[in-house]
Structure 1
């Protein structure tokens, strides 16, 4: 018995999400920042290190759905594919969040370098550095919308992707 076409769409969706996940992991592994000893604990540099650690922790998490073999049963295959979609969507969400936060950290680093132009921070830099810090803090949003908009624009099958609320519930239990 052949699996229903919807299961084919589910399997394809898993592959799409995992490709996005792999690409995000690659981009996060390429981030490099070289703060001085005085700058090491500044918010932007700490954020970059945190994002890289989050990406590694996501890779280290075991698969959270049951790994039973469907054995040709279309309903078992459907349930397993749904579980894989949820798990992979949560991981992709986590990576996308880390990626966007890391890029906010890189923008902060570039702003800081542009403001200082090789000088040590002093009172004349204070207002602009505070503005850069403020922009960094405001950049922690819109991950779910970013992902869904990109997927919809590319015409991907989203019918069984978990909602943001469901993803957040799963993350709170991990």
Structure 2
């Protein structure tokens, strides 16, 4: 898949006023979250979407991978709503309000990107398990049974991807890296922002969690 265009946040109009220390923290925090989101963009764009065997095109894992690709494009194409009302207290307070709104937008995109990444990871594990099963040369009935089990495992992993776990996982990662998180949006605030970025991953909206397996490479990119 061709590399997706990179989303860029709008610039805030506060260059005439030197930012306070808090605004420096806010600016740095926005940069960190955007860096995470861009890393996720890279992995999302690199995931496969079409099987080598066209007979597998409509199987569950490949359908999930194609949906993830569409969802990745969706969060890039959604325009950022970073408008804020005029803040009392002058340009520095206005800059603060703008930075907090940009952070909320970036935070919601990163969260949704992490969900897409984990769904892709689960689907790619499904591809690997399916290939191993088909290559094993077992009887037709045994192979069919194992393929059904593979599908059931994929559905279980996708259903386990919930908002709360992703939020806590990313928050813990940020704290462990020593990042400033004092003004990060709450989960509830992030969920209100998610309306713009809602995706169509099988009956889930903005639901995120780690998948239940032992492959740490698929847990998080941060």
Same-fold status (TM-score > 0.5)? yes
Aligned-pair RMSD on alpha carbons? 2.4
Residue equivalent to 1:87: 105
Give the Å deviation of 1:164. Answer: 2.0
Give the Å deviation of 1:93. Answer: 0.7
Of 174, 178, 185, which aligns to 1:155? 178
TM-score, normalising length: structure 2: 0.71
Give the Å deviation of 1:158. Answer: 1.2
Cα distance in 1 between the residues matched to 2:139 and 2:110: 38
Give unmatched runs, 5+ long, in structure 2.
1-16, 198-222
Of 99, 112, 128, which aligns to 1:110? 128
* Contact 2:36/2:110 (8 A) holds in 1: yes
Q: How do 1:59-98 residues align onto structure 2 when only pairs under 5 Å count?
A: 59-66=76-83, 73-98=91-116
More deviation, 118-127/23-32: 118-127
Choose between structure 1 and 2: higher helix proportion: 1
Higher RCO, 1 vs 2 (CA within 8 Å, ≥6 residues apart): 1
Residue equivalent to 1:10: 26
Cα distance in 1 between the residues matched to 2:32 and 2:179: 8
Give unmatched runs, 5+ long, in structure 1.
none
Residue equivalent to 1:23: 39
Residue equivalent to 2:117: 99
User: CA 1:122 to 1:167, structure 2 compared with 1: closer, same or farther past 3 Å?
Assistant: farther
Of 41, 59, 84, which aligns to 1:42? 59
User: CA 1:173 to 1:56, structure 2 compared with 1: closer, same or farther past 3 Å?
Assistant: closer
Give the Å deviation of 1:173. Answer: 5.6
* Contact 1:65/1:87 (8 A) holds in 2: yes
Cα distance in 2 between the residues matched to 1:117 and 1:58: 37
Residue equivalent to 1:166: 189
Aligned length: 173
Question: Runs of 4 or more off by more than 3 Å in structure 1?
Answer: 67-70, 118-122
* Contact 2:82/2:102 (8 A) holds in 1: yes
Give the Å deviation of 1:73. Answer: 1.1
More deviation, 18-27/36-45: 36-45
Give the Å deviation of 1:108. Answer: 0.7
Cα distance in 1 between the residues matched to 2:140 and 2:148: 12
